[in-house]
Amino acid sequence: MKDRTRFLPIDQTDLQARGWASSSPGQASCDIILVTGDAYVDHPSYGAAIIGRVLEDAGYKVGIIAQPDWKSSEDFLKLGRPRLFFGITAGNLDSMVSNFTAAKKPRRTDDYSPGGKDGLRPNRATLVYANKIKELFPGIPVVLGGVEASLRRLAHFDYWAEEVRRSILLDAKGDLLVYGMGERQVLEIARRLRDGEDIKSLNNIRGTAILRNALEGFEDAVMLPSYEEVRVNKEKFNEAFRLAYGEGDPVRGRTVVQKHGERYIIQLPPSLPLTTPELDHFYSLPFAREGHPVYDGKAGGVPGFETVRFSITSHRGCAGECSFCSLFAHQGRIVQSRSKQSILDEVKLLSGRKDFKGTITDIGGPTANLYGAACEQWDHSGACRSKQCMMPAQCENLRLGYDRSVELWKEVMQVPGVKHLFIQSGLRYDLLIGKGSDAYLETLCRNHVSGQLKVAPEHASEAVLKAMNKPPLAVYEQFAARFKEMNRKVGKDQYLINYLVSSHPGAGLEDAAELAVYLAQRNIQPEQVQDFMPLPMTASTCMYHTGKDPWTGERVPVARTYSERQLQRALIQSGQPQNKGLVLLALKQLGRMDLEDLLLGSSYKGDVRRSSGRRAQSNRKRR
């Protein structure tokens, strides 16, 4: 059995082991209790774990309630009442993403639950947990955080309800919301509550949103269209998105306000980026780097942890601004990187573990090849309002950290016990086509690709790529040719794993057919196809909801029905036998039966027609 004292306490047994158990029923054992929708894995890739360790490091007594049974009170009561506040997160994913597919069907597994078991977190977990705590602990401050709360802090379109919902602060009855990466915010909240300030007086903490009855002190804030306006007016919805997006930079961003009824959601400017020493310190904290012992014996452990057990986060933030990316919306454009020594220290820690088999599975972040990226504007002016770092091409002021990466990889491979280092995080291929990337790409291909490299061309249609804010297809083809040539040079037989997105706004059936033709002509049969899922506070979700590009006002086609989305996916995966009937149906709708041989191949046509005929005859009999 693992030593439970290596973890933050989860019950009275753990409190007693630490000497924290209160002697009287009304006395608090913990200063802060964190409630999470994920299993408790004490690893820095888990939000509740890193926030808990950061608070512990600052001297607070922190407890964890992981995946409580929300249908009863018992789990919420097991650590008692905290002295300062409850912190609530739905987990590493929005709970609706955890629980449902893009087709709105319940998922059968949950990677962040022990054994991958589904059903251990409620839908809209932040709301459910917060309301339960308000019921059981009246008067205790409740702080919302995590990606679910972060991206629902303002009025937002909810794909699962197909409606615009108001700020989660209102529905959860939270006292304060932390958005973005939350270490600085929670430390300041804890300090000020410890010093006797009232939660309702915390009006100036960057990276938080609050609910107030009046705008005293915020008269100069940027006013968004109200919830009542954006709920019924799609032009106002896009206007609110543009205004809020424009203030999302931590250096130049201003406070924004959105009225909800007679009250106001006030979003303070984003938290300033963490410095390298701060990041280094947070990742050096004494994580157990394991699931809590209560999960021992669960078949498969916690699947989401198994994929990151021997991976390392090297940086945060992404300057890519893909329209559909919620991670960018959460972490921001400014890249924050750890030092080489900090990463090497973590490698040495991992290599000394008994369960380490010699492979570091990844060193990366939202985009692996942005480690060490910098811009002279970021520190004093923030990310540019009027232009992007990578689109339509890499800005000349964006300096890439390729030399740092190559040097880091070399030193990692010199750590005793390390046999392999693979880069598994996605890469921006448009940053790997210039000569300045020669050494990086060669080193990557020679030593750090496990046979397959993940990249995300996403689509072949230029119109769809434009809506996604992704590079033109010609850029991907340039990279693919360069990757092939580099592998020939280093004597490796390695392949690209191409991530594709189906039914993104801007994509009609003819666009899916264009992608299908592109793939068929190159004999590519993709397995990594993701149906577009509209997530709160992304530009793509604006397009899905309003049918217009929020920046230009141009109309974009949107596949809304299940049948439309099903046909697009079938075309993209036309090589899969089960899709043949749908492919024929799509080609008939398009009037493009000339593509039948290319997409289906002669070996399938008779089988598909016979199968389609049998289904039609069976349907007639039933009628």
Residues 251-283 pLDDT 10s: 999 999 999 999 999 999 999 999 999 999 999
On whether both 342 and 194 belong to a single domain, the answer is: no
On whether both 599 and 544 belong to a single domain, the answer is: yes
Count of structural domains, the chain: 3
The pLDDT of residue 297 is: 76
* Model confidence pLDDT, tens digit, residues 152-168: 999 999 999 999 999 99
Dist CA 353 CA 417 (whole Å): 10
On whether both 588 and 513 belong to a single domain, the answer is: yes
Q: Map tokens 């689509």 to a residue.
A: 459
* Mean pLDDT over each residue of the chain, to the nearest integer: 92
Q: How far is CA 318 from CA 138, 344, 363, 365, in A?
A: 40, 22, 15, 8
On whether both 438 and 315 belong to a single domain, the answer is: yes
pLDDT band at residue 617 under the 50/70/90 scheme: very low
Residue 467 included in any domain: no
Residue 107 contacts residue 118 (beta carbons within 8 Å)? yes
Q: Where are the alpha helices (DSSP H) in 195-271?
A: 227-232, 234-246
Which strands, in side-by-side order, build the sheet including 62-66? 62-66, 32-36, 85-89, 142-145, 176-178, 208-212, 263-267, 256-260, 222-223
pLDDT band at residue 23 under the 50/70/90 scheme: low
On whether both 320 and 179 belong to a single domain, the answer is: no
* Model confidence pLDDT, tens digit, residues 293-343: 998 877 668 999 999 999 999 999 999 999 999 887 789 999 999 999 999
Mean pLDDT to the nearest integer, 340-357: 97
Instruction: Read off the CATH number of the domain in which 341 is found.
Output: 3.30.750.210
Residue 491 included in any domain: no
* Exposed e or buried b per residue across 231-249, where buried means at least 16 C-beta atoms within 10 angstroms of its C-beta: bebbebbbbbbebbbebbb
* Model confidence pLDDT, tens digit, residues 208-242: 999 999 999 998 999 999 999 999 999 999 999 99
Dist CA 245 CA 237 (whole Å): 12
The pLDDT of residue 240 is: 98
On whether both 314 and 262 belong to a single domain, the answer is: no
C-alpha 272: how far from its chain's center?
Answer: 20
On whether both 344 and 225 belong to a single domain, the answer is: no
Residue 102 included in any domain: yes
On whether both 68 and 197 belong to a single domain, the answer is: yes
Mean pLDDT to the nearest integer, 445-456: 93
Residue 328 included in any domain: yes
| pLDDT at residue 605 greater than cutoff 60 | no
* ∠ Cα 573 575 576 (to 5°): 75
* Model confidence pLDDT, tens digit, residues 96-130: 999 999 999 999 999 999 999 999 999 999 999 99
Report the predicted TM-score, pTM, of the whole model to 2 decimal places: 0.92
The pLDDT of residue 327 is: 81
Domain boundary among 237, 252, 267: 267
* Model confidence pLDDT, tens digit, residues 493-511: 999 989 999 999 999 999 9
Residue 455 included in any domain: no
Q: How far is CA 91 from CA 64, 168, 295, 336, 520, in A?
A: 12, 15, 17, 22, 39
| pLDDT at residue 613 greater than cutoff 60 | no
The pLDDT of residue 119 is: 93
* Model confidence pLDDT, tens digit, residues 163-211: 999 999 999 999 999 999 999 999 999 999 999 999 999 999 999 999 9
pLDDT band at residue 609 under the 50/70/90 scheme: very low
C-alpha 160: how far from its chain's center?
Answer: 18
What percent of the chain shows pLDDT beyond 90?
87
Among candidates 37, 238, 95, 215, which has minimal Cα distance to 156? 238
On whether both 554 and 429 belong to a single domain, the answer is: no
On whether both 435 and 509 belong to a single domain, the answer is: no
HEC letters along 459-506: CCCHHHHHHHCCCCHHHHHHHHHHHHHHHHHHCCCCEEEEEEEECCCC
The pLDDT of residue 526 is: 87
Domain boundary among 238, 267, 296: 267
pLDDT band at residue 607 under the 50/70/90 scheme: very low
What percent of the chain shows pLDDT beyond 70?
95
137 or 454: which leads in pLDDT: 137
Residue 623 included in any domain: yes
On whether both 429 and 518 belong to a single domain, the answer is: no
The pLDDT of residue 606 is: 41
| pLDDT at residue 292 greater than cutoff 80 | yes
Residue 294 included in any domain: no
Domain boundary among 267, 298, 320: 267
pLDDT band at residue 4 under the 50/70/90 scheme: confident
On whether both 81 and 181 belong to a single domain, the answer is: yes
Which residue type does 162 have? E
Dist CA 507 CA 503 (whole Å): 6
* Model confidence pLDDT, tens digit, residues 35-76: 999 999 999 999 999 999 999 999 999 999 999 999 999 999
The pLDDT of residue 28 is: 76
The pLDDT of residue 329 is: 78
* Model confidence pLDDT, tens digit, residues 569-583: 999 999 899 999 999
Q: Show the domain range for 561.
A: 502-623
The pLDDT of residue 405 is: 97
Residue 171 included in any domain: yes
| pLDDT at residue 614 greater than cutoff 70 | no
The pLDDT of residue 134 is: 96
Mean pLDDT to the nearest integer, 464-469: 96
The pLDDT of residue 21 is: 82
The pLDDT of residue 528 is: 78
